[in-house]
Structures are given as structure tokens and as C-alpha cells.
Amino acid sequence: MNETALSCANLSRYYRTRDGLLSRPKWLKALDNVSFELSAGQTLAVVGESGCGKSTLARVISMIEPPTRGQLVITGTAVAEAPPRSIRTLRSRIQIIFQDPYGSLNPRKKVGSILQEPLIINTDLSRHQRRDAAAAMLDRVDMRPEHISRYPHMFSGGQRQRIAIARALMLKPRIVVADEPVSALDVSIQAQILNLLMDLQASLKLALVFISHNLGVVHHIADHVLVMYLGRTVEQGAKQTIFNQPLHPYTRALMASTPFVDPSRRAKRVVLTGELPSPLNPPSGCAFHQRCPRAQDRCQHERPNLRDIAGRRVACHFTEQQSIDDRSGD
């Protein structure tokens, strides 16, 4: 059994905002009570519309931002309880790959300097050792040796993302957070980067948190799926369980909007009305009730909790009825 690399319990991130200087402060709950565990060598895909809290989750678990509350445990160490001298070690164990390969690399530095920078800050390796490590990592992401002395603007988007992946792996992390790493790339390049990530994960036994809005990509790469809506988890479980029988109405709508080549995976069309509500003024009760085709009076006043249903966790009052409708042909 693989060890647990990353664990989150009721992880939340709130931002205090004001409409004006004289207005009362409000709390924007960008991330609210998200929990999961991820083992070494496994991939958790976090999916949902823009604004659902995916990138906030990525920043919190990669220690770019602190959680407002909840517990974050990295390779067995609780971040909140770790002494200051251990924080640098924890940061080296979890690295992030950003969405935009054009904006995430310093245009003034050569590739060799970009890759060696984490080693300069976090290790006592000599200059020659750092250069050898950078060259070896470039080779691992299928880049040529001469690329080490070139600038980022000399590469395509796919090549830049390979460099970004190489940089994330320089400190030999145990966990990698990939925040929509292929959404800015041409479709013809996306599969190459995904396959590279999967190969690296298998060889290095990485735990991968993969942030995406593309369920076709998620089906290709994930072991487990966490579906978010307005900062909260609405459904989570094993990939095949979620894809074969999505139970939450929001998950069903996402599946229905995703084109699949396999006819058996094409879901019946679900039409959502309205826009994603503002997290500054979330609806009462179930946050999804204003757009849900199955909403009832109870949904307007009572927030559903995550429950264990049919091999996954679902936050919906009427999940059991949905399961009965599925068995009876809806």
C-alpha cells in the first residue's frame, strides 16, 4: 500500500474584502472545508468551472498561501505545527506547475539559470553539480543539451511547459500540483505534455494534484476526482465511479458538456440556467440550487453535507432518489 503523501482536512481559505471604504467587511470563501488524501504515485483531478476554487486550492496546498483554517499535512508533517526551520524542507517536497508557460519563466534568464535557481536556494551543491543536475533534468523532459544556454522566448509553448516541469522537479519533490498545465497549449501538444507527466509520475512515484476544467483530459490522467462548486466539494471518488455514474446534478452537467469519442460515455444533455453565483454573496442552502434542474424547496434553505453514497462522497439531499432514477431508466 502506498504511503499518504498529502492530506487535507477541512481546508479553507477566506479573503476579507470591502465594497468601499465605509462599507462593512465581507468574507469571500474561495475555499471552504475541502478534505482529501492522496497517496504516492496517484493522481487527484480537481474539476469545476472557473471561479469554483480550484486554483485557490492549488495555491494553499503548495504553500503559496496559508489556509484560513483546516489542516494541511505534507508527507506526514502538519504544516501548521512544523517549526520554522522545517518549512523550507516542506516547501521543497511540494512544487507547482502553472498554467501559462509564457508567464511562468523569467525571460531574462537562460534555461540553465532557471533550472539551477531552486538548487542555489535550497542546496549546497557546487556550480558544476548544479549544471549537471539541470542538464540531466532537461534530458528527462526530452529537451536537447544545447537548450540549457537559451532564453525562454526561443521556445514554443510546449517546450516552455517542459522547462517549467523540469524546474518543478529539480528539488525531487514528492508532490506536484499542476494548475491547468495544458489548457494554454495547442491540442496537438497537450497529449505530449500529459504523457510526459504520466511517465515522470510513474518513474518518480509522484503524487499529482491535477487542476483542470477539461473532463476529457481528466479521464485520461486521473485516479481520483474531486468536483468543486463555489469553493466546496460536491462530489469526490474514484475516477471510474464518478465517470460511470455521476450522482450530483452539477457533476452530471459537467459530464454532459464534455465530448467523448466513446458513445457509451456520452451523457444525456443537462441544461444549466444562470451563471455561477458570486462567492461574496452565495445563495442560501445548497449553493447549486439556483441552477439545478432537480432543486426542491429543501435545497433553498438547508445546505447538504458530504455523505458516503454508492462508493463516493456526494453533497446532495436527493442522491438516493437519483440512484433509483438511474436504475429505473430515469
pLDDT tens readout for residues 172-197: 999 999 999 998 888 889 999 999 99
pLDDT of residue 317: 92
CA distances from 140 to 63, 169, 170, 269 (A): 26, 10, 11, 42
pLDDT of residue 323: 52
pLDDT of residue 274: 73
pLDDT tier, 281 (very low <50, low <70, confident <90, very high otherwise): confident
pLDDT tier, 96 (very low <50, low <70, confident <90, very high otherwise): very high
Q: What is the mean pLDDT of residues 105-116?
A: 95
CA-nearest of 111, 119, 110, 170 to 140 is 170
Residue 329 has pLDDT above 60, yes or no: no
Distance, in Å, from the CA atom of 104 to the CA atom of 218, rounded to the nearest integer, reads: 23
CA-nearest of 258, 217, 297 to 318 is 297
pLDDT of residue 324: 46
Residue 267 has pLDDT above 70, yes or no: no
Q: Are 8 and 71 in contact (CB under 8 A)?
A: yes
Mean of all residue pLDDT scores within the chain: 90
Strand-pair category, 312-314 with 307-309:
antiparallel
Q: Give the pLDDT confidence of 46-74 residue by residue, as tens digits.
A: 999 888 999 999 999 999 999 999 999 99
Percent of the chain with pLDDT over 90: 72
Q: Are 313 and 237 in contact (CB under 8 A)?
A: yes
* The length of the chain, given as a count of residues: 330
Q: Give the pLDDT confidence of 129-183 residue by residue, as tens digits.
A: 999 999 999 999 999 999 999 999 999 999 999 999 999 999 999 999 999 999 8
Residue 15 has φ and ψ, to the nearest 5°, of -120, 135
Residue 262 has pLDDT above 70, yes or no: no
